[in-house]
Amino acid sequence: MTVHREATTVPKLRVDIWSDVVCPWCYIGKRRFEAAAAELEGEIELDVHFRPYQLDPTASPGKSGPVFDAYARKFGGPEQAKMLIDRVTETAAGEGLEFRMDRALRANTLLAHRLLWWADQPATPVDQHDLKERLLQAYFVDGLDIGLPETLADCAAELGADRDDVLGFLASDAGTGAVADDLSQAADHGISAVPTFVIESQWAIPGAQDSDTFVNVFRRLADKMRAVQEAELAAGESCEGDACSND
């Protein structure tokens, strides 16, 4: 009789989330993704990293204004802007988020993305996920200007970073090249809207899908990974009688 070992480890999936800090659907999608991750805890391990995308790269640093005005210019007037804001505010409320878009300020997010890149590096004092949440809250709830280094440093300091160290980092060019590479990689993946969730650099989930969709997709992909692992084990190791061998 031949006995093959089964793959018993919990599947681990890397998820790169391309998003922008000023994107309402990115915040909504983050909440839905988190609900799915909580449901999958112990079943699938998700290794999550936030990657940069700029919806408004032409926004002038240090020259913020009401985001409502920017929406009105972009989407065809005040009435259309109000409809859009009302829609995302209502949807956000369904996910437990209290948007205050009347406070939101148009901002260039390049510095924020550099800081998020920094938080994803080894041995940094701030968790990238916590920083992402704080910056989204700062923008959509608190009405803070996240285009300013001082605002970003304050947010990071709340999470345990040294404020002066953060200001020094932002005043340098550290992380600029890495963020530029990530922005280019988004284009290579064909990402033209956010949020987009890229799994194992192979599969993409576009948009703020509901949590059930995330759960179903991750379970299907985990099943694929298990099947591959079991096939590899079956091909490489077998037991005959009282002896085992590697083929």
pLDDT tens-place string over residues 122-146: 999 999 999 999 999 999 999 999 9
pLDDT surpassing 90 at residue 108: yes
pLDDT range class, residue 60, cuts 50, 70, 90: confident
Residue 236: predicted pLDDT: 59
pLDDT band at residue 231, thresholds of 50, 70 and 90?
A: confident
Q: Which two tokens stand for residue 131?
A: 């920083």
Q: pLDDT tens for residues 188-208?
A: 889 999 999 999 999 999 999
User: 16: which 2 tokens?
Assistant: 């790169």
**Mean of the pLDDT values across residues 33-46?**
97
According to CATH, the topology of domain 2-62+109-246 is Glutaredoxin (3.40.30)
Q: What percent of the chain is predicted at pLDDT more than 90?
A: 82
At 237, the pLDDT band (50, 70, 90 cuts) reads low
More confident call, 15 vs 245: 15
Q: What integer is the mean pLDDT of 205-232?
A: 90
Question: Average of pLDDT values for 48-65?
Answer: 91
Domain ranges of the chain: 2-62+109-246, 66-104
Residue 200 CA: distances (Å) to CA of 139, 144, 146, 197, 232: 30, 34, 30, 10, 19
